[in-house]
Amino acid sequence: MNIKELEGKLKIANVPKSCYSILKGGLPNEVLCLTAEGGNWIVYYSERGSRTGLTTFKSESEACIYFYNKLKKYGRK
Judge contact between 31 and 49, C-beta under 8 A. no
Asked whether the whole model's pTM tops 0.75, one would answer: yes
For the sheet with 20-22, list strands across it.
20-22, 31-37, 40-47, 50-57
Residues 30, 27: Cα–Cα separation, whole Å: 9
Q: Angle 3-12/60-71 helices, nearest 10 degrees?
A: 10
Q: Other CB atoms closer than 10 Å to residue 57's CB: what's the count?
A: 18
With H, G, I as helix, E, B as strand and everything else as coil, classify residue 9: helix
Per-residue pLDDT of the chain (77 residues; tens, 9 = 90+): 999 999 999 999 999 999 999 999 889 999 999 999 999 999 999 998 899 999 999 999 999 999 999 999 988 86
